Amino acid sequence: MKKKERLSIVKIGGNIVDNPEALKAFLADFHRLEGRKLLVHGGGVMASKMASQLGIETKMVQGRRITDGETLKLVTMVYAGWINKSMVASLQQIGCNAIGLSGADANVIPSVRRSPEPVDFGFVGDPDPEKINTAFLSQLIESKATPILCAITHDGHGSLLNTNADTIAYSVATALSKQYKTSLYYCFEKEGVLRDLNDPLSLIPSMNKAECDKYKLQGIIADGMIPKLDNSFRAIENGVSRVIILHAQNLLNQQGTVLR
Amino acid sequence: MKKKERLSIVKIGGNIVDNPEALKAFLADFHRLEGRKLLVHGGGVMASKMASQLGIETKMVQGRRITDGETLKLVTMVYAGWINKSMVASLQQIGCNAIGLSGADANVIPSVRRSPEPVDFGFVGDPDPEKINTAFLSQLIESKATPILCAITHDGHGSLLNTNADTIAYSVATALSKQYKTSLYYCFEKEGVLRDLNDPLSLIPSMNKAECDKYKLQGIIADGMIPKLDNSFRAIENGVSRVIILHAQNLLNQQGTVLR
C-alpha cells in the first residue's frame, strides 16, 4: 500500500481573525508550515460587530448564533466575503497559492440543516463528513493550491447555512484522513486547554478522552472548549492522526494541548 | 491543429442580480446553456443599498464607484460574499457544479491599481489579460466545474481591488480565446443596444466598430454603454469569436445586438 502523504488542517478562530497584526503573523507562520495544508477560519467577532453596525440583534444560544435570514446574509458577507478574500489576498502576497471557498463552492461541504427542536437555530447546519467533496479538495491540494474554507456551507436545496468552523475543520480532517496522514490544529488566543483560564502556565500538555471527561465533571473544561474537545476526540476516533489545541503563535513549534 | 472547444462567457448585470425572480430565471437559463461556460456577475445596485444602510456615502465618477477602504470592505462583502455564494448555492441546487471565485483566489485575475491621476478611484483596478490564470480556469472547466467570477480582484501586494465586471468578462474572454472558441454575452435588463432607450423595438441588431463610432457621435450610444461596447470591440480584435449584448431573458435564443 502506498504511504499516505501528510496533510495539516489548521483552524483559526475569530479573535485572531479580528486582530490585523496577530492575523498577519499567523498567516506568515501558516505559509511557513511545510507540506500540504488547508485552513479553516471563523469570524464571529467581526460578524457581531457588523451586526451591531447594521442594527441586527445578535442572539446566541449554547454559544451558537441564531441565524435568521438577515443574519445569514450578514455572516455570508463577513465570512465568505471580507474575511475569506482578505486572507486569500494576504496569502497570495507572500507566495501561498490560496483559494478561498465556502462549502457551497464545487459542493465541497454538503450540510444538513439543524432540526428546529429543541432549539431553532435558523439557517444553521452541520456537515456530513461522508459527503465532503474530498476528490475536489485533494485535486486542489495536489495542484499546489491551498484551500481556505470559511464557515458557510449549503444544504443542496439552494440555501446557504451558517456552520461552526470547528466542526468544519473536524469534518474535513476526518474525510481527508482516508487519503492523507492528517494532523488537525485548533489555533486560538490561549495556550491550549488551561486548568485556569487566566494562567497560561496552567496548560494541560496532553489529554485522553477519559481525562477530558474528568476535567468536564470538575468544571475545568467548560463553555466553547467542550464542542472543540468533542470534535477533537471524534476526529481521533475517525482516523485523524493528531489533534493539537494551541495558541495561534505556536503553530510552528506546535506547543499546546496534544490529544491522545 | 486540434479544433478548439467552444466556451461561453456570460456577464450578468447588477439590476438582474438584485431581482430575485429575474435572477432565478436567468440562472436556470444559464444552466441550460450547453457546453463549457463561465459566469461573471456585478452587484452594484445591492452594494449601493447596503452602503446607504451602513451610512457609507456612494460616490460615482464616470459611472464608476470611488472605492475607499470602507467601500472596498463593503463591495467585497456584497460581491464575493452574499451575491457570489447565493448564486453558487442556487446553481448547485439545479445541478450546475458552480464554484465562486474572486480574482484573488488561486491568483485567477491579477490586476493593476488605477493611477490616482486624473481621478483617484481608490481601491479600483484593471485586470491584465496577459496574466489571467487560464491554466487554473481551464483545469476547472475541463473537470466540469463552472467558475462564477465576482467583480473583486487583487494587486498581488495584499490589496483587494474593486473591478468593473464588464472589464473582467472582456479580460477573461480574451485570455481564454487562445484556448477556446469563445463567445461573450453581456446580459442586462435591456434588449441590446437601442436607438431609443425607452423603446425595446428600436434594437440595433448588429453593429461594427465604424457604425458604433457614428452612433457615439450622434449621442445614440452614451453613458455605461460606451465602456461595454469598447470592451466588446476590443474582445473581437483580440480573438473572441462572437460578442452579443442582450436581455438576460434572451440568453438561450441569443437575440440582441451582435457585434461584428
For residue B65, what pLDDT is reported?
85
CA atoms within 13 A on the CB side of B91: 29
For residue A44, what pLDDT is reported?
87
Domain total of chain A: 1
pLDDT, block means (10 residues), chain A with 260 residues: 90 92 97 97 91 88 87 97 98 98 98 94 94 98 97 98 96 97 96 92 96 94 88 96 97 96
List the single range of A181-190, B56-65, B88-97, B146-155 with lowest mean pLDDT. Answer: B56-65
Inter-chain CB proximity B88 and A100 less than 8 Å:
no
> Which CATH number belongs to the domain containing residue A123 in this structure?
3.40.1160.10
Range of the domain at A223: 5-259
Task: Provide mean pLDDT across the span B58-71.
Answer: 88
Bridge partner residues of B127 (DSSP):
B111
Give me the sign of the Cα torsion angle B205, B208, B209, B210: negative
Averaged pLDDT score across all residues of chain B:
95
- Residue B8: which of B213, B257, B242, B246 has the closest Cα? B242
Task: Provide mean pLDDT across the span B132-139.
Answer: 98
The cell 467581526 sits on which residue?
A46
H/E run at residue A8:
strand A5-12
Does pLDDT of B184 surpass 70? Answer: yes
For residue A21, what pLDDT is reported?
95
Contacts of B77 in chain A (CB under 8 A): 77-78, 81-82
CA distance B242 to chain A (A): 28
For residue A224, what pLDDT is reported?
81
Contact A153, A137 (CB under 8 A): no
Task: Give the chain A residue whose CA is nearest to the CA of B74.
Answer: A82
For residue B1, what pLDDT is reported?
59
Task: Give the chain A residue whose CA is nearest to the CA of B160.
Answer: A89
Inter-chain CB proximity B89 and A160 less than 8 Å:
yes
* Contacts A–B by Cβ distance under 8 A: 117
Contacts of A73 in chain B (CB under 8 A): 82
- Per-residue pLDDT of B213-239, as tens digits, reads 999 999 999 888 898 899 999 999 999
Inter-chain CB proximity A90 and B158 less than 8 Å:
yes
| Measured distance CA(A185)–CA(A257) in Å, rounded | 10
The cell 496534544 sits on which residue?
A258
Contacts of B80 in chain A (CB under 8 A): 80-82, 84-85
Task: Give the chain B residue whose CA is nearest to the CA of A89.
Answer: B158
pLDDT range class, residue B39, cuts 50, 70, 90: very high
Contacts of B98 in chain A (CB under 8 A): 104-106
- Residue B212: which of B164, B258, B166 has the closest Cα? B258
Inter-chain CB proximity B89 and A154 less than 8 Å:
yes
Does pLDDT of B64 surpass 70? Answer: yes
| Measured distance CA(B207)–CA(B230) in Å, rounded | 12
> Phi/psi class of residue B68: alpha, beta or left (left: φ > 0; alpha: ψ in -120 to 50)?
beta
Q: Which amino acid is at A156?
A: G
Q: What is the ipTM of this complex?
A: 0.96
